[in-house]
Amino acid sequence: MATDHRKFQRIVILDYGSQYTQLIARRIREQQVYSEIIRFDTTAAALRANLPQGIILSGGPNSVFEKGAPQIDPEIFNLGVPVLGVCYGMQLMSQTLGGRVVPGESREYGKTEMRTEPDSPLFAGLPERFIVWMSHGDRVSEIPAGFRVSATSANCPYAAIRDEARRFYAIQFHPEVVHTQHGSQILGNFLFKICGCKADWKLSTWIEDTVAHLKEQVGDEEVVLGLSGGVDSSVVAVLLHRAIGRRLHCIFVDNGLLRHGEDVQVEEMFRAKLGLDLHIARAAQRFYAALRGVEEPEAKRKIIGREFINVFAEEARKFKNCKFLGQGTIYPDVIESSHAVNGPSQTIKSHHNVGGLPPDLKFELVEPLRDLFKDEVRAVGRVLGMDAELLDRQPFPGPGLGVRILGEVTEEKVRLLQQADLRVQEEVRKLPDYKTIWQTFAVLLPVRSVGVMGDQRTYEYTCAIRSVNSIDAMTADWTHLPYETLATMSNRIINEVRGINRVVYDISSKPPATIEWE
C-alpha cells in the first residue's frame, strides 16, 4: 500500500542505472518537492496519464551508442514538460534529438572547474565559475538543433546545454553529489524557475494521509507485522497502531543473532512503553542448528531468511483473523528489487524480508513506507513522537550477526561478537559527532593468532572494527575515528572479551568494498 501522491506536484526521474540516482530524488525531496524514480523504459503514454511537473534523465554506466544501451521513448520530449538530462541523460537527450555523441579522448572523472555562460535559468544566481563533479568517458560532439551552450570546462566544450523554448536542459556533471558546488541550487532552479513547482511535499501531511489510507485499506480487519526493532519496522508499527490500535499484532523473532540485550530492549520499548500487542518467538537454537557447518555468505543469508519465514509463519498462524501483513519496506528496497528483476543495475547481495510465506498464509501487504527514504522514515518517527534513541539507531542487517561472523556461525562465536560489539557501541556513542556516523560495528574473523596475556600464551580470534559515513548506503567512506577511541575499543575488547586477542580497523570504502563484510 502506498499513499496516493496525486495531490502533490511531482518530478519523475527516469533511472538509467547511476549509483547516484537515489541522491537526485533525495535532493529534490529536501526542497519539499515530491520526486519519484521510475524505470527508464516508461512510455510517454504512461507518463501522460499522470503528467509530472518535470522529468529528469539520470546518469548511467552505459554508452548511448552501444548495442542494447537503455534508451528513451522519443515521445517523452513531446509531452510539453521540462526535461533535465544528467550525464548519460544529457548524452541520451542529445542523441535522441539529433545531436552526436562520441567516445571521449580522455575520461573526465572527479572535480572540474566549470564556467557558465550568462543568462542560463539553470545557473541563475550562481558564480560564473565553480567546481562540479564529472564522471564520463563519452562526450557530446554536436548539440541538437535549437540548443545553445550554457557552460564549458577545460575538457568539455558542452558541459551544459539548453533549449529554453522547449524547456530542455542537459548537464554533463552530477549536481546531486556533495562534490558539486551549488548542486542543490541548480536542482532548485530546475524545480522552481523552470518547472514552476511548489514546495508542497510535507511529511506532516503525508502522515495524516497515510493513517487515513491505512484505516481505509484495513477496515475492520487485523494486521500481523514482523517487528525487528529497527527503525523501519518500528515506524510502521507506530503508524499502524495509530490507525487500527490493538488490531495490530507484532511478532518479534529472536533468532539468536541479535545485538547484546536487543530482545529485552524491544520488549520494554514496544510492549511496556508503546502498549503494542507484542509476541516474541525465541528460536535461537533453531537458527544455530540450521547454520551448523555453513560458511558461504549467500548460503547463510538464505538459511537465515528461510528460517525467519518459517518461524514467523508458525507464529502468524496463531492469528486466525489476520488478513494483512505489515512490512517495513522503504523506497531503496523498492528500487533495488525492481532493478534485480530487469533493470539496468546489478544486484550485489540478496535482501532479507518477510517474503515467500507459505500458501496458506494469504496476506495482503501493507507497506506504508515504500515511498520514503531512510532519513524521511526517521523524520516521520520524530513527528510521531517516537524516542530518539530508537530513531537514531544505526542500520542493522536483516540476517543480524550471521553476516558479521565470517565462516561458520556458532553460539560461542555469537557470544564473542555480541560482547565485542557492545564495547564498540559504548565507545562510539561517546563521540560528539556520533549521530553523523552511518554505521559502526564489530566483525569476528575466522583468523586466530598468537598473543600474550600476562605471562600466558594465547591463541584466539581476531576482531575487525568497521565504521562508515554514508547518506543512503549506496556509497560509503570509512570513518576517521579518533585514535584514542580506536585504542579504547581495542583495549576493552582484548581485556574484557575472553577469546579475542587482536583487533584491526577496516579502512575500505564502498565501492569497491561493501559496508557489511558478507
According to the 3-state scheme, what is the secondary structure of 342-387? HCCCCCCCCCCCCCCCCCCCCCEEECCCCCCCHHHHHHHHHHCCCC
In the annotation, is 249 catalytic? no
Beta strands in 87-210 (DSSP E): 100-116, 129-142, 148-153, 156-163, 168-171
Half-sphere exposure of 245 (CA within 13 A, CB side): 3
Question: Which residue bears the cell 570513518?
Answer: 479
**Residue (of 395, 421, 410) closest to 256 by Cα position:** 410
In the annotation, is 339 catalytic? no
Half-sphere exposure of 8 (CA within 13 A, CB side): 20
Identify the three-state secondary structure at position 126.
Answer: coil
Given 136, 174, 249, 260, which residue is catalytic? 174
| Longest pairwise C-alpha distance within the chain | 82
How far is 305 from 89, CA to CA, in rounded Å? 38
Given 136, 156, 176, 250, which residue is catalytic? 176
Q: Name every residue whose Cβ is closer than 8 Å to that of residue 59 and which is 6 or more positions away in sequence.
A: 16, 18, 20, 21, 86, 87, 88, 89, 135, 174
Three cell numbers written together for 155: 575538457
Three cell numbers written together for 257: 543473532
**Omega before residue 297 within 30° of 0, cis:** no
Q: For residue 203, which phi and psi values (nearest 5 degrees)? A: -70, -30
Dihedral sign for Cα 134, 138, 139, 140, please.
negative
> Which residues face 162 on adjacent strands?
148, 169
Burial of residue 479 (CB within 10 Å: 0-12, 13-18, 19+) is buried
Q: Name every residue whose Cβ is closer than 8 Å to that of residue 127 and which is 6 or more positions away in sequence.
A: 116, 182
What single letter denotes the amino acid at residue 473? A
In the annotation, is 322 catalytic? no
Q: Name every residue whose Cβ is closer than 8 Å to that of residue 513 and which is 6 or more positions away in sequence.
A: 506
**Quick check: 254 and 283 in contact, CB under 8 A?**
yes
Q: For residue 235, which phi and psi values (nearest 5 degrees)? A: -65, -40
Residues annotated as catalytic are 87, 174, 176
